[in-house]
């Protein structure tokens, strides 16, 4: 195991994050929709997300067991940092979406690591969500324009947008409840 988080900790933090983001978006719907529509092409936030993704990936490359490739660890870390820098320099289009996709992939690993070797069936809520965001992360990295299209579809009507945000808020409360009372 790479991380030392329990499933309860992961569910509580994940639930809090989902509740706070969806709650804010429901509270100030106009500002949230404006922000969400501008997110895919946001270079400033994209740079911050890319720095986080690069740092996390470099930390992983520097700490995980590489077995027979351990002697090449400095090259892997340098390669990850170089990839982050060159992505910022040459792949600016949808950099926020691509960076968020990388963070989704890394976050899915944390969630799956916390659920590893647990036997209770309630863990499947977190595991299913982990695989969902891993799939979303792969799509965001490979076809980032689809997030822009999904945001436009979700926010096409106020009713649809508020329904989706309410469903997300409810799911966040379920995660919070699972983390506090079940796991």
111: Cβ–Cβ under 8 A, 6 or more apart, which residues? 10, 14, 126, 127, 129, 130, 133
pLDDT (tens place) for every residue of the chain, 183 residues total: 688 999 999 999 999 999 999 999 999 999 999 999 999 999 999 999 999 999 999 999 999 999 999 999 999 999 999 999 999 999 999 999 999 999 999 999 999 999 999 999 999 999 999 999 999 999 999 999 999 999 999 999 999 999 999 999 999 999 999 999 999
Domain boundaries of the chain, sorted by first residue: 7-182
Q: Tell me the Cα Rg of the chain.
A: 18
Phi, psi dihedrals of residue 4, rounded to the nearest 5°: -115, 40
Q: How far is CA 84 from CA 100, 150, 180, in A?
A: 13, 26, 37
């Amino acid at each position: 195991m790479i991380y030392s988080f329990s499933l309860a900790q992961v569910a509580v933090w994940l639930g809090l994050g989902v509740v706070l983001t969806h709650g804010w978006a429901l509270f100030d719907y106009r500002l949230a929709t404006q922000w969400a529509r501008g997110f895919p092409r946001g270079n400033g936030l994209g740079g911050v997300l890319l720095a986080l993704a690069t740092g996390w990936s470099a930390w992983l490359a520097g700490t995980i067991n590489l077995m027979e490739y351990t002697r090449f660890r400095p090259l892997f870390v340098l390669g990850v940092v170089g990839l982050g820098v060159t992505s910022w320099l040459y792949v600016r289009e949808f950099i926020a979406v691509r960076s968020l996709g990388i963070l989704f992939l890394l976050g899915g690993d944390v969630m799956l690591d916390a659920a590893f070797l647990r036997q209770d069936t309630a863990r499947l809520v977190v595991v299913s969500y982990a695989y969902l965001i891993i799939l979303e992360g792969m799509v965001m990295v490979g076809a980032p324009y689809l997030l822009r299209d999904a945001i436009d579809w979700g926010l096409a009507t106020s009713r649809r947008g508020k329904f989706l945000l309410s469903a997300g808020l409810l799911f966040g409360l379920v995660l919070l409840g699972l983390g506090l009372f079940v796991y």
